[in-house]
Amino acid sequence: MAGQVEFARMNGLGNKILVVDMRGRTDKVTAAAAIALNADPATQFDQIMAIHDPKAQGTDAWIDILNCDGTKAQACGNGTRCVVQALASETGRKTFTFQTVAGILNAEEHEDGTISVDMGKPVFAWDRIPLAEEFVDTSRIELQIGPIDKPILHSPAAMSMGNPHAIFWVDKDPMNFDLERFGPMLENHPMFPEKANITLAQVTSGDSLRTRTWERGAGLTLACGSAACAAAVSAARTGRTGRRVTIDVATAPTRQPLVIDWREDDHVVMTGPAEWEWSGKVDPETGAFSRDEEPEVKAN
């Protein structure tokens, strides 16, 4: 199906997102288009959130998620907040229900502009994360980087928030670690047959964490919503914090924290900002795009 579609360049705490409107069409954003868009500095991104017509009754849209290397992603919390802001601006509505390959996501825009996304329930079973080896307790698995007697990183918590995560606990600022070096090795470690998101997490108080993430299929990212959820759940699960925490994402340019609430019903709710940057049109097959002209601002 030929022709360009509307898209917006947005971000969630600096997590670079392209929201592509594929409603009314039967084709999809191709891997080739994703790779081409990521190759251009103007459209370089962490995830594409492609909005499709709903497949299930009671949902507002099906969201197809692509990483910048053209691979599929199951979940993207920061990207979902961007979708909510885009649709809320278009429709005036405040609540939405989306379907992804990871399941159903309910989301709401608040009066202060922040957006909450119910990311669903965490998964701890080793074969559903998945891991290559059986672990009865996945809150601390056997995996390390560095010398065996003095590892740099070790014993991560493993879980799934719709996508696999490994959380390494560190005693100092996550920015002090060479995650750009360790990230690719850990993402592709044989322990993770579907690869994994790798997060360094530091406990800064009984209700706050500081994190930095190497994102599966995207690399060193400014922010990752599902990783923040995984870190918060893992912290509460291991007794490091309570079930509601603020996450200071070390690389986020605004340094506005995410609030993660692991509710008693086992659902994980993430609340944070989303920001529109600019919009344009894109060919979902090739990635060729044009940018909308900015409206002229006239002096009074």
Tens-place pLDDT, residues 52-80: 999 999 999 999 999 999 999 888 889 99
Q: Which domain holds residue 152?
A: 144-266
Examine the pLDDT at 98 and tell me if it is beyond 60: yes
Q: Are residues 74 and 37 in the same domain?
A: yes
Mean pLDDT of 173-182: 94
Residue 189 inside a domain? The answer is: yes
β-pairing, 95-100 vs 115-118, is: unpaired
Residues 66 and 12 in one domain: yes
Q: What is the pLDDT of residue 64?
A: 97
Mean pLDDT in the chain?
Answer: 93
pLDDT above 70 covers a percentage of the chain that reads 95
Whether 242 and 279 share a structural domain: no
Structural domain contains residue 132: no
Q: From 213, 82, 230, 83, select the one nearest 162 (Cα to Cα).
A: 230
What count of other Cβ atoms lies within 10 Å of the Cβ of residue 239? 8
Residue 297 in this model has a pLDDT that exceeds 50? no
Instruction: Return the percentage of the chain with pLDDT > 90, whole number.
Output: 84
Assess if residue 71 is contained within a domain: yes
Asked if residue 151 and residue 106 are part of one domain, the reply reads: no
pLDDT tens sequence across 106-144? 999 999 999 999 999 999 999 999 999 999 999 999 999
pLDDT at 68 (0 to 100) = 92
SS (H, E, C) the chain: CCCCEEEEEEEECCEEEEEEECCCCCCCCCHHHHHHHHHCCCCCCCEEEEEECCCCCCCCEEEEEEECCCCEECCCHHHHHHHHHHHHHHHCCCEEEEEECCEEEEEEECCCCCEEEECCCCECCCCCCCCCCCCCCCCCCCCEECCCCCCCEECCEEEECCCEEEEEECCCCHHHCCHHHHHHHHHCCCCCCCCCEEEEEEEEECCEEEEEEEECCCEECCCCHHHHHHHHHHHHHCCCCCCEEEEEECCCCCCCCEEEEECCCCCEEEEECCEEEEEEEECCCCCCEEECCCCCCCCC
For residues 96-111, give the mean pLDDT: 94
Tracing tokens 């086992």 back to the chain, one arrives at 266
Tally of domains within the chain: 2
pLDDT over 50 at 298, yes or no: no
If asked whether residues 65 and 155 sit together in one domain, one would say no
Q: Could you tell me if 93 and 59 lie in one domain?
A: yes
Same domain, 104 and 180: no
Q: What is the band of 249 on the pLDDT scale with cuts at 50, 70, 90?
A: confident
Q: Catalytic site residue 229? A: no
Q: What is the pLDDT of residue 14?
A: 83
Q: Is the pLDDT of residue 295 over 60?
A: no
Question: The CATH number of the domain where 253 resides is what?
Answer: 3.10.310.10
Evaluate if residue 163 carries a pLDDT over 90: yes
- pLDDT surpassing 60 at residue 4: yes
Cα dihedral sign, 52-55-59-62: negative
Q: Is the pLDDT of residue 251 over 70?
A: no
Q: Quick check: is 201 in a domain?
A: yes
Q: Is residue 113 part of a domain?
A: yes
- So what's the pLDDT on residue 1? 64
Q: Are residues 116 and 42 in the same domain?
A: yes
pLDDT given at position 252: 59
CA atoms of 284 and 20, how far apart (whole Å): 8
> Residue 138 domain-assigned?
no
Mean pLDDT of the 100-104 span: 90
Judge whether 18 lies within some domain.
yes
Q: How far is CA 211 from CA 119, 177, 225, 229, 278, in A?
A: 18, 11, 11, 11, 28
What pLDDT band is residue 287 in, cutting at 50, 70 and 90? very high
Catalytic residue among 68, 76, 82, 229: 76
Looking at the structure, do residues 183 and 113 belong to the same domain, yes or no? no
| pLDDT(87) > 70 | yes
pLDDT at 205 > cutoff 70: yes
Asked if 88 and 165 sit in the same domain, the reply is: no
Catalytic residue among 68, 82, 224, 229: 224
Whether residues 151 and 255 share a domain: the answer is yes
16 & 63 share domain: yes
Catalytic annotation on 224? yes
Question: Taking CA 31 as the corner, what is the angle to CA 29 and CA 37, rounded to the nearest 5 degrees?
Answer: 80
Q: Is 73 a domain residue?
A: yes
- Provide the pLDDT for residue 143: 96
Mean pLDDT of 166-194: 96
Statement: residue 300 has pLDDT above 70: no
